[in-house]
């Protein structure tokens, strides 16, 4: 079975600072994909960043980057220069072949002015 664990239910960060959200997963598959989604209050889930497991290079998307440690099955999200608009629930998700996303329980991030 595939499981995704986000061990930080809530986090806060000062505006302009850097924060890292952790995610670990468990799978016996070798080929899979990892995603971070952001869900602002009362808004839809938005894709933040994607990582292919076969790529060793960590994905980056502007202020968002990941630290992908395949052997450790770890996929953390780093947000640099945090902005007020980054306040949201962040979900880590895993997908192998097929269509089924496996989500973590989410981390609620608050950016403090």
Partner 1 sequence: EPEVTQTPSHQVTQMGQEVILRCVPISNHLYFYWYRQILGQKVEFLVSFYNNEISEKSEIFDDQFSVERPDGSNFTLKIRSTKLEDSAMYFCASSEWQGSQPQHFGDGTRLSIL
Among 10, 15, 43, 63, binds partner 1 (CB under 8 A): 43
Stretch that binds partner 1, among 18-26, 62-70, 80-88, 103-111 (CB under 8 A): 103-111
Residues 47-66, mask of contacts with partner 1 (x by CB under 8 A): x--x-x--------------
Angle at 84 between CA 83 and CA 87, to 5 degrees: 105
Contact indicator for 50, 38 with CB cutoff of 8 Å:
no
Nearer to partner 1, 51 or 76 (CB): 51
Contact indicator for 4, 104 with CB cutoff of 8 Å:
yes
Nearer to partner 1, 28 or 42 (CB): 42
* Contacting residues toward partner 1, per CB under 8 A: 4, 33, 35, 37, 42-47, 50, 52, 91, 95-106
């Amino acid at each position: 079975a595939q499981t995704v664990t986000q061990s930080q239910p809530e986090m806060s960060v000062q505006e302009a600072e850097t924060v890292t959200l952790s995610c670990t997963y468990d799978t016996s598959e070798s080929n899979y994909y990892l995603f971070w989604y952001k869900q602002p209050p009362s808004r839809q889930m938005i894709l933040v960043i994607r990582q292919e497991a076969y790529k060793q290079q960590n994905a980056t998307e502007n202020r968002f980057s990941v630290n992908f440690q395949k052997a450790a099955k770890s996929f953390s999200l780093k947000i640099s220069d945090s902005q007020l608009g980054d306040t949201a629930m962040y979900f880590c998700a895993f997908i192998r072949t097929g269509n089924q996303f496996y989500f973590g329980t989410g981390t609620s991030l608050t950016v403090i002015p």
